Amino acid sequence: MNGKVYLIGAGPGDPALITVRGLELIRSCEIVVYDYLANPRLLDEARDDAEIIYVGKKGGAHTLPQEKINELLVRKAGEGKNIARLKGGDPYVFGRGGEEAEELISAGVEFEVVPGVTAGVAAAAYAGIPVTHRSCTSTMAFITGHEDPTKDESAIQWDKIATGIGTLVFYMGVKNLPHIVSNLIKGGRSAKTPVALVRWGTTSIQQTWTGTLETIVEIAEMEKVAPPSLIIVGEVVTLREKLNWFESRPLFGRHILVTRARAQASGFLSRLEELGAAALEFPTIKTVEPESWDALDRAIDSAGSYDWLIFTSVNAVSYLLKRLKDTGRDIRGLAGPAVCAIGKKTAEAVANLGIQVSLVPDEFRAEGILAKIGDVKGKKILIPRAEQAREVLPKVLAEQGAEVDVVTAYRTVQPETRKDEALELARGGRDMMVTFTSSSTVTNFVSMFTEAELKEIQGKVKVASIGPITSDTARQAGFTVDVEPAEYTIDGLVEAIVAFNGAR
């Protein structure tokens, strides 16, 4: 029995613009076949066991020609697999989705079309340009800009579209811009007509240039405008000056490396992207289970004998809870010790377990914690934490007479990285910032590069650190710390980055 092929519009670039139906199918299909303009972030939503196949075309170079893509879809469906066929924008708007659908019908393969947000509307909107507006025009057209200018006869009726339609949106046309401009002016469109070029529309690296039909070719050549770019022609372009919301965000154009562990990075990453940053997920830490649970199990079983239970991170809370669930232990077994949580997020994680938090220190340094806890002489203290962590807190508590048991709740390991991408950004002179949210993110980041590569990065990037301990580690590693928040939290770090960017 054949599988089913879903022709899915992946949207114009911003992964948040995928439709609910499209996302549902990406998550459920056994195979995902995707194009160059489909945002790779959408692939993170695929099943862990999904087969991911890239068939994109970039700069005229085909990974697979169209006929081979058609054969691939038919063959994979013949294996009984359901296929999410991701196409940039909408599959039926210059996406060759109709051709693929015809081939599937010929082969007897069932298919479904899932429309997507097309770039002609979305990229224009993200550039501050409504494609229709009552004061400008009530008509619009989508036109291919990829027509071969050497053909004897154009399939486009230039004299009709030049004067008969208010807003013209040309897809994939930047290489043919002189040809397009010349034909519009010959067809009767005023040379003073406003024009916008939008490159990588709806993404955090979007660029927009404006001019008129008589100036836009020179502007494009001077600015070296390259695909993928959209051409928008019409009076609606003048509204950009007033309606440019996307590129006006406080971090727009700033490239920021998020070195946090992937499991904790999503909220931080999303917040930076909402503020306009091109945030690159670059996890330097991955949390995994300890090699042995024995020490943590013994601590859990004797929890009632402790005076204080100190959680230094959300990870420590998460792994302790996981162990309780996996072994069928009752969380009420933790009743007895007073609980200290380092940081608001850690306190929230503890509270969500139904455990009362006795203390959240104002400072995250050992001295600040000790000042809040008070006299610990003779007290028994349990600290579940990462296998390798700073010894300052246990040492200070022990020096004050406490009996401290430090047990491993989880380990941190080095994940796969996007090292080449980070180096390319730094070498390309991009306005890049690296964020460090713990000392371990610093040391792991450093270990990923050669000494020469690290010096190259350190000479070109800005650094944002979550707090003084992390900042000290960064400076010892040779970095200059440019941003450190007054409140040592992710929210505080985001606010400090925005303030720094505004000051610059």
Query: Residue 61 has what pLDDT?
Result: 57
The reply to whether 248 falls in a domain is no
> CA 323 from chain center: how many Å?
31
Burial 290-303 (b: 16+ CB within 10 A, else e): beebeebeebbeeb
Rounded Cα–Cα distance for residues 59 and 388 (Å): 47
Q: What angle do CA 448, 452, 453 make, to 5 degrees?
A: 45
159 token code pair: 């004299």
In a shared domain, residues 52 and 150: no
Q: Cβ of 229: how many Cβ atoms within 10 Å?
A: 26
The reply to whether 375 falls in a domain is yes
| Among 91, 184, 99, 179, residue whose Cα is nearest residue 141 | 184
Q: What angle do CA 154, 224, 141 make, to 5 degrees?
A: 35
Query: Residue 41 has what pLDDT?
Result: 86
In a shared domain, residues 108 and 63: yes
| pLDDT less than 50: residues of the chain | none
In a shared domain, residues 274 and 357: no
Give the range of the structural domain holding residue 259, as residue numbers without chain letter: 255-285+415-503
In a shared domain, residues 303 and 407: yes
- DSSP state at residue 385: E
> Whole-angstrom distance between the N-terminal and C-terminal Cα of the chain?
61
In a shared domain, residues 355 and 434: no
Question: For strand 194-199 and strand 207-212, is the pairing parallel, antiparallel, or unpaired?
Answer: antiparallel
Q: Cβ of 208: how many Cβ atoms within 10 Å?
A: 24
- 137 three-state secondary structure: strand
In a shared domain, residues 163 and 174: yes
Rounded Cα–Cα distance for residues 347 and 355 (Å): 10
In a shared domain, residues 364 and 266: no
| Among 362, 361, 319, residue whose Cα is nearest residue 339 | 361
CATH number reported for the structural domain that contains residue 40 in this entry: 3.40.1010.10
Total number of domains constituting the chain: 4
In a shared domain, residues 125 and 237: yes
In a shared domain, residues 301 and 403: yes
Show which residues are catalytic.
35, 57, 172
| Among 216, 284, 220, 225, residue whose Cα is nearest residue 435 | 284
98 token code pair: 């109709």
- The 10s digit of each residue's pLDDT in 345-356 is 889 998 888 888
| Among 284, 313, 304, 305, residue whose Cα is nearest residue 408 | 313
In a shared domain, residues 294 and 396: yes
| Among 450, 54, 61, 411, residue whose Cα is nearest residue 261 | 411
The reply to whether 236 falls in a domain is yes
- The 10s digit of each residue's pLDDT in 440-453 is 889 889 988 889 89
In a shared domain, residues 58 and 126: no
pTM strictly above 0.85? no
The reply to whether 249 falls in a domain is no
- H/E run at residue 55: none
